[in-house]
Amino acid sequence: MIQFLYRIIMTIGTPIIELTLLIRGWLGKEDPTRVKERRGETQIARPSGKLLWLHASSVGESIAALVLIEKLIKMNPSMTILLTTGTLTSAKLLTTRLPERVIHQFAPLDRPAWVQTFLNHWRPGLVLIMESEFWPTQIQQIKNRNIPIIVVNARLSKRSYARWQWTLEISRSLFGSLDLVIATNPEQAQRFINLGAPYVEVGGNLKRSAAKLSLNKKLVAEISKQVGARKLWLAASTHEGEDLTVIRTQKLLQAQFPDLLTIIVPRHPKRGSSIQRLGEANGLSVSRRALNEEITLETNLYVADTLGEMSIFFDVAPYVFVAGSLVPVGGHNPIEPAHFNCSIFFGPLMAKNQELADVMIRSIAALQMETNGSLADLLEDLFNDNELATMLSNNAKEYAENGDAILESVFDSITPFIKRLR
């Protein structure tokens, strides 16, 4: 009954869906020139031959998928990969990072007619879903066409798992349609088994296998020259609600460390101007990268409000706060800065990457704030304890560089399905 109602709602709710797309475009969350892709339409012809569809919802999943995509292309030179994402940020990030024979499209919304249009055009021979993006109509139509579905890096948050348990009618049908689930750990594997997935393996967290972000050494040299010998820390991928805490941390610590510089890289660069105003309202001297402003001796806060330059600041900053962890976003991937020999720390809300966070904490490769903890206190401890900071950075780098076996394990599990591709 629930499945039937869902299909009815997604069928007759077209005006509301279209209005939502319009609003998202107005808010800068959709590309107006590519909104047809959300309806399953495209101007790109389907290449001849084997085609694998890989879906990665947002930035974190996309980055984790890149290392697998490169491996798949290398080992299957005649195959095309269709990569779909659901966010504008991920699309922009991937623009310059996709290898040949990989086509990017925005994923169709889960309206029956739109999914049908998408599948009719692309005709994938195999579908890979990264992590936890499950849409009932898509799954049903894929299975109706006898296309195998594999979930890679499979994980469900406690909240998502509880929701799927509440809708067991849909859950058993949906998860029972999956041909293979490659979970990140045994606990996650059990969740998928409980929801009806028939074939579940434990492959490890593919995010550990992600390649080090590419680095523009010229820009690193420029930023390093501007920073000089100043004490520096980075707040990486902040969300609204975190910036004020970061700014107040700078204010609290600069009395003890007069030359302290804080760099904020907002998750969404368009927030740069609002962060600037917030910093200036709190008495800080602010420079913005989007305005081509340099870091001067007077700069207390540098807002790096550009896209695709995070690696520069990971390389420059010895201390990195992984944001999205002070607000209920779920925290971002701590492996990315780990490659750059940084001392890493994050807030208490790491649900999206809790598995990685827990292992890094146990390995003394990262620190986590207490629920009622102070970012300023944690950072002060790191500034005053070089031995701890060095231990964290060394352990983090070692942890990040030992993820190759996970990629090989996942690839081996996928290979039998690829061999059957036509």
CATH of the domain at 282: 3.40.50.2000
Same domain? 103 vs 195: yes
pLDDT number for residue 210? 79
Same domain? 383 vs 339: yes
What is the number of structural domains in the chain? 2
Q: What is the mean pLDDT of residues 186-206?
A: 94
Domain range for 131: 2-211+403-419
Same domain? 47 vs 181: yes
CATH of the domain at 97: 3.40.50.11720
Same domain? 18 vs 140: yes
Q: What is the mean pLDDT of residues 200-209?
A: 91
- pLDDT over 70 percentage in the chain: 97
Same domain? 128 vs 180: yes
Same domain? 198 vs 276: no
Same domain? 183 vs 245: no
Same domain? 226 vs 81: no
Same domain? 177 vs 266: no
pLDDT number for residue 170? 82
Same domain? 227 vs 163: no
Confidence (pTM): 0.77
Same domain? 196 vs 261: no
Same domain? 229 vs 361: yes
Tens-digit pLDDT profile for residues 38-94? 999 999 999 999 999 999 987 778 888 888 999 999 999 899 999 999 888 788 877
Burial pattern 307-346, b for ≥16 Cβ within 10 A else e, equals ebbbbbbbbbbbbbbbbbbbbebbbbbbbbbbbbbbbbbb
